[in-house]
Amino acid sequence: MSENTPKRYHPVHVVIHWLMALLIVMMLGVGKTVMPGIDPTDPQKPMMLQSHAFIGMTIGVLLLVRIVMLFAAKRPAPADAGNAALNFIGRAVHILLYVLMLGMVASGLGLFQMANLPAVFSGAAPYPANFFEYLPRVGHGLFSWLLLGLVALHVGAALFHQFIKKDNLLARMWFGK
């Protein structure tokens, strides 16, 4: 590890990481539980989807800033889980998290365009009876389950480092000197 390798992530990275974590857990939670329970004819449905699309696009912008930051700012050395296979899995999970987050935003934007959501939100078009007639809806649903699984693995790994390896890895994703 070079002398210039920081001990923590850049504060911009830290803010975006925790903001995205909050928004994504909320989107996955509401998307899997509340959203499917509301009937397409319910007047609340377009409003709910509009908030969903707005937050989804916000996640997209945060993700782009984060990807730029990955290359623009120095990062701490890769975490060491204590064995080569776990280290490989750790890196793969991080890359897949980025791929799936991009996939969620891209498929969401695909639906936005194909189902003409601006017209649905303004009341000019009815709420689509079934989004599954648009291909990106299949990807959006599939990616959402995969993302849920990877988020669980990611949280599990952080807890493993914090409480079993006791290396205080979480401090790298927080503020400090």
Binding site for ligand HEM (CB under 6 A): 24, 27-28, 31-32, 35, 49, 52-53, 56-57, 59, 101, 104-105, 108-109, 111-112, 131, 140-141, 144
- 32 or 91: CB nearest ligand HEM: 32
- 14 or 109: CB nearest ligand HEM: 109
Q: Name the packing angle between helices 44-72 and 11-37 (round to 10°).
A: 160
CB of 24 to ligand HEM, least distance (A): 5
DSSP 115: T
CA-closest candidate to residue 172, choices 5, 4, 14: 14
- 24 or 81: CB nearest ligand HEM: 24
CB of 96 to ligand HEM, least distance (A): 14
CB of 22 to ligand HEM, least distance (A): 12
- 27 or 79: CB nearest ligand HEM: 27
CB of 38 to ligand HEM, least distance (A): 8
Contact of 20 with 59, CB cutoff 8 Å: yes
**Tokens 């509340």 belong to residue:** 34
CB of 31 to ligand HEM, least distance (A): 3
Contacts of 58 (CB under 8 A, 6+ apart): 23
Q: Which two tokens stand for residue 27?
A: 């989107």
Residue with the shortest CB distance to ligand HEM: 108
- 79 or 97: CB nearest ligand HEM: 97
**Separation CA 137–CA 8 (nearest Å):** 38
**Separation CA 66–CA 144 (nearest Å):** 20
Contact of 134 with 115, CB cutoff 8 Å: yes
